[in-house]
A and B are shown apart, each in its own frame.
Chain A
């Protein structure tokens, strides 16, 4: 946060700190995308997987006669919750505590990691089991635990693959989408203890190997760590929605359960889950209902974990809430429907975005969590086609937020720099020309100079000039016409 705060103006809430977590990439999107686009296996895997999920989602959504009403209800519930977030958080804390849970508040990733590490070390264990959690990916929990001498074992199959492969997730829902089964087999053979040397790459065999590996871990783990899909303010209930059953294992077997939840995951009342449990499975995996939905409230003596810790995570969320034009990004229920329909994501994959939140939602959430300057290329990583908005189960207007963030970026840049960027200068020049019809008419006539090019084929081919070449490297360009429309009108139609 580098902009000076003027006297009397409230400072913006802090964004997610640098140096911790996985919200920032090493390369700008256009550069990262260029490499990803050349990866033919990634292209094939992504095209196939997203195409399949798209079709499944469309099918199960078409079965629901009140889908649009559900979407609107989901949207309204989320908007309502965000408008009263402090009040609902207070209610939630009270309800969790009343049922025997312990609530911790973590301003940012570093604080959250420190709290978890302290809790785990207090249990004198060197290993914990984890349910897939985007929030823990976001804060880099596994790395922090490892630095503290604790091994955090992922139990979601795709996260396990990513972890054993010393890799990063590339999709919110299916994090190992960039891998094929031959690669997965290799990873298991190299990294999984006690794996059968004759392991094939048949999906059933791979799943079987993972199951055996994980079952041992589930039965011996003393501490489980999870995220949460939803938290119910009214009752203090948390919910995890999953497909594989590893969540159910990790949430019920260990003695101690630690849950990290972003503060935006709240819903007001128990009955509100009815809306979201219909929206989420159909939007994410394209199923009418997911196999395992777990809900737990505090501690139940003699049943399940006897110690429950809930860590409420901010890490930039209040900063997002503070921006009226961008706060709807917090309404996200992490279904990943937007990733699966995005033509950009489909071709570049998640790693190109640099953040654990990629795709359309990532392009609006990651820059707001980190501060736009740390993810400045993400709001532009979109053709604004709008496919994401059409499928978002809570109707987040992603294209409008992208446009809003582009404006925030250029305005912040202008405020922080005395010399305008080349782009800002060019845009100002264009606006000046377009601001007056006489200037515009003259400028258009000047464009006829372009007719010097393209005589041979009747179209302009490659032009080795900066900016222009970004177009002409791949596409021809039409020759400027002999006469602009307005000149034609003025002369042929005898009027100006």
Chain B
């Protein structure tokens, strides 16, 4: 009896140890672990098919797909890296790459991707300390959505598409004055990671920055940042519905908000929820003419601890190839592939709304990669909220925020 128990325990332990080992097998078979965020039923089957095709073409490779959510994906990735259980390949938001690469958690893939840099957009966010740690996959930017039927009801008429800040104000005021519970503009509040993405297009359009290009100096307290904030506050105070992004979009879909800033997911929502809405998309207006927007996106990176770096590099090259990006964009109605070749496809050229995104992406700016971005973002959002919702003086608030960012950079 005793022997049986010892034998059973030994076998159990052996099974546990073997099941935990993963990675490279004796027969040369490779198992890649891939953590990714695309769980929407519209796109998940496409990703699964890409993986299945890869496995068919490479019979020695098996890819295990694990879904993450934006609600807690970042925490899971941090815990996985810190506990040494990170997957071979991980999808990262553009703001996170510097955080993980500066901590030594990501593999340097510069040599693998150097040949491709001219073919893809978005490398700046995947780069840290002049080395590349993540490959741009699907990018994203923000554009202006305008309810054309509301615009038509104003004295300005449906062709009054704003191309500068003054015209934007004019359009928002005109739509707001229609009354009947209709708002001119959708201003973000009450959630994290959103508001700053709506302010940054105005900041970037005014040629403002948060930190210098090299990330060494805080330059947020500037006349440019002040002018951009003044504009956003004027819109927010005078003619805005103030709510979360989701509810602003709901109101836009219901014809209750005239102008909102959003990403390409709203195109999908329009197609699924209110195909009849008469709307138009346009570039983010700058002080004088359409100018820059905020850009971000999804990147694929390889864990520094991966024992299958070469195979992982081949896999992410496959996933981010122009063909697969096109498949992805078609399935998900996504507007902004990182591949320049994919972006030239007829699929994008034949759809004016997708085309607006492609054009805007070429006129967009990513935030300077910073390991402390999570703090910087918080500082910016708190400063914006103070000015927008508590009438704090804009210049002083920007100055204080700038001081905090400066201290962060100094501490680092």
Partners in one complex: no
- List chain B positions with a Cβ less than 8 A from chain A: none
Contacts from A to B (Cβ < 8 Å)? none
